[in-house]
Amino acid sequence: MAKRLTKALREKRRWLGVLVEPACVTRSDVEERLSALTTTLEPTPDVRLMDFFNSKQRHELNTPTDFNAEEGGIAILRIHLKDAPTLRPLFQAEDAIEQHGIRSLTTSGKIRLVRQRLGLPKPERSR
């Protein structure tokens, strides 16, 4: 019988809260930016877009955060822990918005904490 995949055996993740340039207004725009970035890296990291709020949706939320002065959309990315040392410096650079269209705001091992810091609502669960 195969060994059961428990939480301890799963690959660890990091959640990145990122600022996305105002030109990206749809999820597909952000996914295109991410795929263009990840294809240039070796080995190709596994990056998944979890939540995305463009600048208009973001201003409609009206939740106070430390990042309200920033212009653009907000997204949450899931990356594997092994890929974090490669990706985080790219997103934290001073010119990350100009180069990649994405800049890191916050990071955590729990998506709940990233949503809380960015002032994003917990999405409705579909059953």
Domain boundaries, the chain: 13-118
CB contact set of 98 (below 8 Å; sequence gap of 6+): none
How far is 92 from 77, CA to CA, in rounded Å?
14
Q: Give the model confidence (pLDDT) of 88-104 as tens digits.
A: 888 888 888 888 889 99
pLDDT (0 to 100) of residue 1: 61
Fold of 13-118: Alpha-Beta Plaits (3.30.70)
pLDDT (0 to 100) of residue 69: 62
Q: Look up the pTM and report it.
A: 0.85
* Low-confidence residues of the chain: pLDDT under 50: none
